[in-house]
Structure 1
Amino acid sequence: MSDAWSPGSPQLVIWLLAPYLAAFTVALLPALSAPLILLCGLATALLGGWLLLGGSGLQLLLLGRYGVSLSVDGLACWFLLLGGLVCLAVWMEGRRQGWERTGWLLLLVLLGALNTSFLTTDLVSLYVSLEVVAISAFLLILKGRSARADWIALRYLLISNTAMGLYLIGAALVYSQSGSFQFTALAALPPGAPLALVLVGLLTKSGVFLNGLWLPRTHAEAPAEVSALLSGVVVSAGALPLLRLEQLSPSVTALLTPIALASAALGVTYALVVDDAKRLLAWSTLAQMGLVILSPAAGGAMALSHGLAKAGLFLTARHWPSRSLQGWSSRPLAWSLQLPLWLGALSIAGVAPMLGFSAKKQLETALSPPLAWAVLLLSIGSVALYTRLCRAPWDLTPRAPLSWGALLLSLPLLIAGVAFSAGRVTVDGLVKTFTVLLLGVALDQALERLRWRERMALPQLDRLPDLLGGLGLIGAGLVVAMHSGRFSPLLAGGAL
C-alpha cells in the first residue's frame, strides 16, 4: 500500500465525508433531510452491491504512514450493502413516526461512522469511528424519552467507553512494540496483552458472549427503529475488524472460535425461554453475531443475512399487539406484519431458498466437520426460538399499516437467496433443512409445556456488575489462553 492515491480515491474520500457534510447541512436546512439521507444511503448500498458483484477493490493510505488506512475489499462490500439498506429502511420508518431534525442528523452521522469503521484497517481510525458510532447510538436510544431508556443509554455508553478504553491501551502497546497502528502489525506480534485488549474492545462492540451481555436489554428497550439499527448494523461495526484480524492471523481465529460458539449457545438458550419478544430478538442477535465471527470466509454473508432479517423484525415490533410471548398464539397479527416476520425468521433459521440458507451453507463449508455439526445443532435452536414468533395466527384484514422499511429489508432476503442458491440446492441440503425444521419445531413444542414454570427461569446476566465482570473475565481468559499456547487445530475454523 503506497501513499499515492489510486484512481478513484478522490471519489472515495468524498463518499466517506458525504454523510458528515449532509448532517451539517440538515442541521441548517432540515427540509433537505430526505434527499440527503436517500443520496447517502443509496450511495453506500450501491457501492456495496457493486463490489459484491465483482467490482474492483481499492486500498488507500492517507496522511502518511501514521494516517488513515482504508481497504475497500470483498469483505467490506457485505457490510456496506447492509449499512446502506438498514439506514434507508430506518429512514422510511422514522418518517412515519415523526422523527425530526436531530434524528436525521444522528442517522447521517451514524452512517458516516459505520462506513469508516467498515473500511479502516488501522487501530486509531477504527477507535475514532467506533466511538462516533457509540455516541450516535447513545443519543438515538434517548429518543425513547423515558427514565428507563435514559438509564439503558447511559449503561450502554459506560460499557462501550470502558471496553474502548482497554482497546486504546492495546493499540498503544501495539505501536510501542511494532511502530505501527496497522492491523497487519497487530497480527504479526506474538499473542499477548496487546491482542487481548484489542479483542476485548471489539468483542464488546460486536455483542459477542460475555462482552455482549449489554445487548439484550439495550436492544429490547430502545425504540423499534433504533433497535433495528443496533441489531441490524451497529454490532457489525465491531464484527468486521474481528474478521479482518482472523484473515491475517490463524491464532486470532483459534482464540475467537470457542468464544463465538459459546455466544451462539448462550444466545439461543436464553432466547428459548424469555417471555419478551423483543428480548428474544436481542438474545438471538448475540447468538448470530457469534456465528458471524466464526469464519471470515462466510462472515460477510452471515452478517448481511442476519442484519437485514433482524432489522426488519425489529421494525415490525412497534405494531405488535403485545411484547409478551405468553398467549402469543392467540393474538392475530396483520398480514402486513406477518410477511416481514416470516421472511426474516425463515432466513435466520436457514431455510431454503432464503439468503440465510446460503450464508449458513457457506459457513458450514468453511468450517471443520465438528464445527459444522455444532452450527447445525445451533440451527435447530434457532428454528425453535423463531417458531415462537411465527405461531401467531394471520389476520388478513388491514389492521396494521404495511412497514415499507421492513419490506425493503425482507424482500432482498428472498430475492438474493434465490439468486445465490440457484443451482446449488441439493437433495441432501433440502433433506438436512427439512430435518432441522422438524427438530426445531419439536423442540419448541417440548419446551412450551415447561416455559412458564419457575424452574425454567435462567439467571439474570445483564446487570451492570455482570457486564463489567464479563469484560475482565474474557480479557483474563484471552491472556491465559495466549500464554498457555493451547490452540486446538480443531477450533481453528478451517476445514481439516
Structure 2
Amino acid sequence: MRLLGVLTAIFGVSYAVFEKDSKRMLAFSTIVQLGFILAAPPVSGFYTLTHGLVKSSLFLLVGVLPSRNFKELQQQAIPNSLWIAIVIASFSISGFPLLSGFGAKALTMKNLLPWQEVAINLAAVGTAIATAKFIFLPHAKVTTGRKLTLSGWLGIILLLTALFIANAVYFDAYNLGNISKALGIIAIGWGLYLGIFKKLSLQLSKAGEQFDNLVGMMAVMLMLLFSLILAQLAPSFLAFS
C-alpha cells in the first residue's frame, strides 16, 4: 500500500503542475493527496479529514471563478474576498503553518519509511507549485461577476474555520525543523511556479485519463481505503467484544 501511495502521488502531481484547467487541477491534486494518505496508513485519518475540508472549500470557490482556465484568470482580477478564501485553503493543502494541513503533512512525513521520503517530498513541492496557480491570481475590489450565495459563504467560513481548529490535533508538529521544512518546500514550489511553470504551455498526454483507466484506478483506491478503514477499526471492535 505504501508503494502504491508513492506512485499515486507522483502520478497525480505530474499532471497537476502542468494542468491549465482549475477544476481538473483540483482533481489531479486529489489524486496526489490520496497518495499521501496511502503512503502512511497508520496516520491517514488526520490527513483524510484535512483533505476533505480543503477540497470541499476549493471546489465551492472555484465554481464561481469567472473562468476555469488559468491563463484567462491571470488576465482578470477576482474579488478580494474570494481570493482570500482560496488562499487560505491553498495554504493548508500546501502545508502552511497555523492550518491543519501543516500538522497533517508533518505527521505523514514523520511516519514515512526512508525509501518513500524523496518521492513524497517531491510531491509536496509539486503541490506547492499547483496551488501557487491560485495564490498568485490577480485580485481587486470587484463587484461584478458570479458570486457565492450567503449560504455558500457560510459553508466556506465553517470549512475554513475548521482548518484552523483541526490544527490543534497535532501541536507537536510545531518545532523549528518542521516549520522550516514546510516553509522551504512552499518557497521552492512558489519559486518554480513563478520562474518556470507559469510560463510553460506543456500539456501532458491524456492517455492516463481514459474512462476505463480512471474507473479501474478509482475502484482499486476505494478497495484500499475500505481495507485501511477496516484495519484501523478492527482493534476497537475486538476490544469491545
Which category of TM-score, normalised to the shorter sequence, fits these structures? 0.7 to 0.9
Correspondence for 1:274 among 8, 13, 19: 19
1:298 maps onto 2:43 in alignment = yes
Q: Identical aligned pairs, as a percentage?
A: 27
**Residue type of the alignment partner of 1:463:** Q
In structure 2, the residue matched to 1:201 is none
In structure 2, the residue matched to 1:262 is 7
Q: 1:334 and 1:297 mapped to 2: Cα distance?
A: 40
Q: Check whether the contact 1:264–1:288 (CA below 8 A) recurs between aligned residues.
A: yes
Correspondence for 1:342 among 69, 87, 108: 87
Post-superposition offset of 1:415:
2.6
In structure 2, the residue matched to 1:425 is 174
Correspondence for 2:193 among 423, 444, 462: 444
Q: Check whether the contact 2:16–2:26 (CA below 8 A) recurs between aligned residues.
A: yes
Post-superposition offset of 1:407:
1.8
In structure 1, the residue matched to 2:156 is 406
Q: 1:458 and 1:276 mapped to 2: Cα distance?
A: 13
In structure 1, the residue matched to 2:101 is 356
In structure 2, the residue matched to 1:228 is none
Q: What secondary structure sits across from 1:327 in the alignment?
A: helix
**Residue type of the alignment partner of 1:443:** L
1:463 maps onto 2:210 in alignment = yes
Per-residue displacement from partner, 1:99-132 (whole Å, max 9, x unpaired)? xxxxxxxxxxxxxxxxxxxxxxxxxxxxxxxxxx
Structure 2 length-normalised TM: 0.80
Q: Check whether the contact 2:107–2:173 (CA below 8 A) recurs between aligned residues.
A: no
Select between 462-471 and 280-289 the one with higher mean Cα deviation.
462-471
Post-superposition offset of 1:470:
5.8
Gaps of 5+ in 1: 1-255, 475-496
Cα root mean square deviation, aligned: 2.3
Correspondence for 2:126 among 381, 397, 400: 381
Question: How many correspondences in the alignment?
Answer: 214
Q: 1:329 and 1:390 mapped to 2: Cα distance?
A: 11
**Residue type of the alignment partner of 1:430:** I
Q: 1:337 to 1:264 in 2, by over 3 A?
A: same
**Residue type of the alignment partner of 2:79:** A
Post-superposition offset of 1:396:
3.0
Within 5 A, what are the aligned runs for 1:174-193? none
Q: What secondary structure sits across from 1:319 in the alignment?
A: coil
Q: 1:266 to 1:336 in 2, by over 3 A?
A: same
Q: What secondary structure sits across from 1:352 in the alignment?
A: coil
Q: 1:431 to 1:321 in 2, by over 3 A?
A: same
Q: 1:286 to 1:415 in 2, by over 3 A?
A: same
Correspondence for 1:324 among 69, 83, 98: 69
Post-superposition offset of 1:421:
5.0
Per-residue displacement from partner, 1:256-306 (whole Å, max 9, x unpaired)? 112111111111111111121000001101111111122232100110111
**Residue type of the alignment partner of 2:164:** L
Q: 2:68 and 2:203 mapped to 1: Cα distance?
A: 18
In structure 1, the residue matched to 2:52 is 307
Per-residue displacement from partner, 1:427-484 (whole Å, max 9, x unpaired)? 222221221112101221212222x2xxx22111222344467689x8xxxxxxxxxx
Correspondence for 1:394 among 133, 139, 144: 139
Q: Check whether the contact 2:4–2:39 (CA below 8 A) recurs between aligned residues.
A: no
Q: Check whether the contact 1:336–1:398 (CA below 8 A) recurs between aligned residues.
A: no
Q: 2:119 and 2:49 mapped to 1: Cα distance?
A: 21
Q: 1:276 to 1:415 in 2, by over 3 A?
A: same
Q: 2:74 and 2:170 mapped to 1: Cα distance?
A: 32
Gaps of 5+ in 2: 221-241
Larger Rg: 1
Task: Tell me which of the two structures has the higher relative contact order, counting C-alpha pairs closer than 8 angstroms and 6 or more residues apart.
Answer: 2
Post-superposition offset of 1:367:
1.6
Q: Check whether the contact 1:348–1:356 (CA below 8 A) recurs between aligned residues.
A: yes
Q: Check whether the contact 1:335–1:398 (CA below 8 A) recurs between aligned residues.
A: no
**Residue type of the alignment partner of 1:297:** P
Q: 1:471 and 1:427 mapped to 2: Cα distance?
A: 38
Q: 2:217 and 2:161 mapped to 1: Cα distance?
A: 37
Q: 1:471 to 1:341 in 2, by over 3 A?
A: closer
Post-superposition offset of 1:398:
4.7
Within 5 A, what are the aligned runs for 1:199-238? none
Q: What secondary structure sits across from 2:209 in the alignment?
A: coil
In structure 2, the residue matched to 1:14 is none
Q: What secondary structure sits across from 2:137 in the alignment?
A: coil
Per-residue displacement from partner, 1:298-348 (whole Å, max 9, x unpaired)? 100110111100010001122101001113223212133223211111111
